[in-house]
């Protein structure tokens, strides 16, 4: 029996008559975008004095011209290719080392098991 009684007994709230009083759900998508400000446009940024916009998955200069030096771009692409090839070679080496490690571990476990069996067999003979 509680000391002060059960003073907390909230009343049930009555169900709402209308889910929403807003008429925006009745509007078509384009009108909603205008009303709610959902039209963002293309993302733009300014880097080193160059204005860029994001179109079709790539950053493009707003002036339409080429951004940067062509020789620098070629050098970066060549360096990127070299790094990708080096990365692939290193991944291959890691895979080979992991295979070698798993093989050596399996052989070690087999040898330990054989050693234990030989120890048990020699104890039985004594």
pLDDT in tens, 95-122: 999 999 999 999 999 999 999 999 998 8
Would you say residue 6 has pLDDT above 60? yes
pLDDT in tens, 31-66: 767 777 666 677 888 877 778 888 888 877 777 655
**Residue 114 is encoded by which pair of tokens?**
């054989």
**Residue 117 is encoded by which pair of tokens?**
């069996």
Q: pTM higher than 0.85, yes or no? A: no
pLDDT of residue 77: 92
Residue 39 has φ and ψ, to the nearest 5°, of -90, 100
Please identify which residue in the block is written with the tokens 């060549």: 78
pLDDT of residue 53: 84
**Distance separating alpha carbons of residues 53 and 43, to the nearest angstrom:** 6
pLDDT of residue 74: 87
Angle at 74 between CA 70 and CA 75, to 5 degrees: 115
**Distance separating alpha carbons of residues 106 and 65, to the nearest angstrom:** 61
């Amino acid at each position: 029996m509680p000391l002060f009684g059960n003073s907390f007994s909230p009343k049930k709230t009555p169900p709402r008559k209308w889910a929403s009083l807003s008429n925006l759900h009745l509007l078509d998508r384009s009108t909603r975008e205008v009303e709610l400000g959902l039209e963002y446009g293309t993302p733009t940024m300014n880097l080193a004095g160059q204005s860029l916009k994001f179109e079709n998955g790539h950053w493009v200069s707003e002036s339409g011209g080429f951004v940067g030096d062509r020789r620098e771009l070629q050098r970066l692409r060549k360096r990127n290719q070299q790094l990708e090839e080096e990365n692939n070679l290193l991944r291959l080496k890691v895979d080979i080392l992991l295979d070698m490690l798993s093989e050596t571990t399996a052989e070690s476990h087999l040898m330990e098991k054989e050693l234990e069996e030989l120890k048990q067999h020699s104890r039985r003979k004594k």
